[in-house]
Structure 1
Amino acid sequence: MKTIMITGTSAGIGRATALHFANKGWNVIATMRCPEKETELTKVQNVWVTHLDVENKESIQTVIEQGISKFGEIDVVVNNAGYGAFGIFEAATEEQIQRQFDVNVFGLMRVTKAILPHFRKNRKGVIINVTSEGGRVTYPLFSLYHASKYAVNGFTESLLYELSPFNIRVKIVEPGPTKTEFTGRSRDAIQDTRLTDYSEFEQKINLMYQSLFDPEQIASPELVAGVIYKAAIDPSRQLRYHIGSDLMIEREELNDNEFIGKMAQRFGIDIE
């Protein structure tokens, strides 16, 4: 039996991925900040639910050591934990800016760095970084989130080169809009009531978000979990696995001015 370690399994894509791999017969190390609150995954026989905070280096190392002791080795790591800061950049506090990167970028790097000695020793392993369509396409009011996901994309692509000699495969899974708690508990609202110059713009964009996305085109966490599984067992050097809207096609086909113009038009923004 192979073993996978997944961060951020308390909900959404992480939870769906843990269940998907468990159903495929894998051992699953399902990590989250508050495992004492978990009631579903703890009932699955081959799933070990445990505490891990990507902002805490010691908790990461402890889980990896215990996971290896429990299952013999770890074959795949999925860096899924993350959230989105939403709002006007000028209103963001230093703490909000720092935490967005500490979780989405530095936390992912901590987990990756901690598992590499094990993978190098075994001369095999797979690292799957769940980024986002938002790592190559941007939306209004998500500047911090997009910055973090663009950073992960660059980090992962470069890492591919240096880990290839050790037979360690590196993958990026890029979900588009997904039915998760991203707009709920996984979102950090950036607000500053003193910045009234932005009020009209914010209200307009918030209204657009409520009507912009077609529910029929929003992927389920289970669909994303299936793609993560495909990436995990894919022996090729394919880097990116995209799920979601046609925006990525537009991003690749249009030049910057054309694409940004179309996005601005979607949100009713005059950028002339």
Structure 2
Amino acid sequence: MNANTDFQLFHEKADLYLPQGDDVSAALKKTTHLGVGAHQDDLEFMALHGILECRDNEDQWFGGVTCTNGAGSARQGPFANHTDEQMQVVRAEEQREAARLGQYAYMAQLDYPSSEIKDTAAAENLVNDLVNLLERGSVKVVYTHNLADKHSTHIAVAAALIKAIRKLPKEKRPEKLIGCEVWRDLDWMSDDKKVVMDLGKDADFAAKLNGLFKSQITGKRYDLAVEGRRRANATFFDSHSTDEFERVCFGMDLTPLIENDDLDPAAAVLPLIEEFRKSVEAEVAKYFKA
């Protein structure tokens, strides 16, 4: 189902899917938690906390935004000979299936090529699409890629999102912006700086959600890697106590960037890295002093 007839997005093939059967206005308005990711499956891997917060909860609703068209992914097995165009169709339907299972209020797939998102001039169209989605919602919490992620498209999406939120009046902005783990985890951050998101004990739902992305986990087991990271985060979070959590994802608090438009995004990340560098230096130096 493409509801784009009622709500215009930049790309003609952009898809606004409404799994609850709402009209566009109602779906956008009731969304309280929003995930904005680069690729199909990013939301389910990085923003599970928001999905779980809203699932089976009539007072909170998760909305999803996938920015790219999914054309350039690795492929193997039954997908080995798929063209880029065929992969786009497969990945778009996998993402819709995830929206149905996750009970999303809406799932927007914006259909941008990665090259367009990484071109700062062309990416203004993405910024405007995100503004259009955000300003019609009641979003309190936004999940996106962390600014230390090693995938350049992920950083480009996070940058476009920050620019979009900064275009909103202060009273329309989300209360929280959290940068999440995909192509680089955040265990290196000081514990007091981490946003610690408890994912509960039931891994079955996450396994079902991740398992929907067959085109991506055939030959590259993202699903197992993501779940392993969640369990590792929980166990290695504290070396001097028994596990408080069973499954955890870490986030980087990017909220200051949407509260202060003059704050340089690099300034939100580099102090965290410097703090990590100093902690390593100090710990090693203790045992090599003359």
TM-score normalized with structure 1 length: 0.37
Which is richer in helix?
1
> Structure 2 length normalisation: TM-score?
0.35
